[in-house]
Structure 1
């Protein structure tokens, strides 16, 4: 009998020793989710862009034979929280005039990622943008400032042309930007996207203007007899998860 009790006691000790100290801490609960670390700090210092996986950054460069070439390069990196944008432009073509234009900068977004919705074929051959962001690189007409755009929804014909947008107003916190003359970065907060959920796969295009006339568009293409406007499809973006 003593032998039986001794074996039982030893088995109980072994079970206690093998049992995890915290049964709730097994590596698959919500406490183990990784804390979000913002990969790009919007501060006008662009060094952190070089630390990204280049294969996950969508890039458009100005075609040397494009008609509107003031935008030189644009890079877009999208994760599940933000869409980050970096771009460079020709300062000589966009010298701001105080109290006149403030250098408008537009983002044209195909947020659902579908080819059969949206429009604005004036600057992009796929003409599928549903949302346009309109803001200013020089908010006061003299100094580079934060990007705080108003939102506009496409209400024209599918794949249509013309400035056919319905003003939705500004969305507080949707964007923030910083930069220096000729270089800029900003983000779009996905949770504040005004047309609902931004798809994992979407597309985007950009223009920069002087006195409300586009002087740079990206993506773009060479001007040819078959493509006199030098239009290209919007830039395809895949969300990094």
Structure 2
């Protein structure tokens, strides 16, 4: 395995309420992962709260101009990822992920965040990982956890959190652990089977746990089975280069205004 999910750490939140998907009326800030950060901007306007319980009807209450959606084309190289929706309020970042297990089960979810939005004058990222899955990735925060365990049973998505410490935009896997699995800053519903035969989960992240997160940030998700890539979302149509068909990279998702 690339990473092991380690021992639990305490969190300055009411964990039983958070794990159950309940709304915390007056939440305290999550743990400061960096130890040194500037106060982030907060989104304007009232927040729509999503209960993480596998009932997706409450997503209908989110204003259309605050919801970002990516749909994977049918001719994408990886067939597992199908749809991704992201809504970021002042307190939580909410994610709806829809996927197919027609070919392989989904075990592991990687959530990539470009939290500092450091770009040059032409919109290209200058810091972070530089994942080739997206044309403009500069992810500096990674959430890595299990959607289901090795036996196929639903797992509480309470992932290990890393920050990028490698050479900027170099790719590779130079991530350093910031917070061990079980911290409680992230939680997910169990996978729900949809009428179309796909599955879906919803995920919530405590916004204040991400250092330097401004009102706008970029998001991408990678899915794996047995630590092998089976999806990137967003994604484009498959591309052919030198006779080899591969993943079609597109821009990752821009969230916030």
Contact 1:190–1:197 (Cα < 8 Å) also in 2: no
Q: How does 1:166-185 map to 2 (within 5 A)?
A: 166-170=176-180, 172-181=183-192, 182-185=199-202
Return the structure number with greater helix share. Answer: 1
Q: Pick one of 46, 64, 79 that aligns with 1:54.
A: 64
Residue 236 (str. 1) matches residue 246 (str. 2): no
Deviations 1:6-42 (A, max 9, x none): xxxxxxxxxxxxxxxxxxxxxxxxxxxxxx8652001
Aligned positions of 1:22-37 closer than 5 A = none
Contact preservation (8 Å) 2:78, 2:247: no
| Cα separation, 2, equivalents of 1:37 and 1:141 | 38
CA RMSD of aligned residues (A): 2.0
Q: Residues 42-76 of structure 1: CA distance to partner in whole angstroms, max 9, x if unpaired?
A: 11111101221122110011122211120100000
Match of 1:106 among 89, 106, 110: 110
- Conservation of the 8 A alpha-carbon contact between 1:137 and 1:144: yes
State how far apart, in whole Å, the 1-side matches of 2:136 and 2:48 are.
32
Alpha-carbon shift at residue 123 of structure 1 (Å)? 1.6
Partner of 1:149: 159
1:218 maps to 233
TM-score, length basis structure 2: 0.70
Bigger relative contact order, structure 1 or 2 (CA pairs below 8 A, ≥6 apart): 2
Q: Do structure 1's residue 87 and structure 2's residue 106 form an aligned pair?
A: no
Equivalence for 1:136? 146
Q: Distance in 2 between matches of 1:232 and 1:63?
A: 12
Please list the CA deviations of residues 68-91 of structure 1 after superposition, one character each: whole Å capped at 9, or x if unmatched: 120100000001111000011112
Offset of residue 140 of structure 1: 6.1
Q: Contact 2:127–2:140 (CA<8 Å) still a contact in 1?
A: yes
Aligned residue number for residue 131 of structure 2: 121
Q: Please state how far the C-alpha of 1:152 moved relative to its aligned partner.
A: 1.4
- Asked if structure 2 preserves the Cα contact closer than 8 Å seen for 1:94 and 1:209, the reply is no
Compare CA radii of gyration and give the structure with the larger one.
Answer: 1
Identify unmatched segments of 5+ residues in structure 2. Answer: 1-45, 119-124, 193-198
- Residues in 2 aligned to 1:54 and 1:141: alpha-carbon distance in whole angstroms: 38
Question: What is the number of residues matched between the two proteins?
Answer: 196
Mapped partners of 2:48, 2:149: distance in 1 = 26
**Is the contact between residue 133 and residue 249 of structure 2 (CA under 8 Å) also seen in structure 1?**
yes
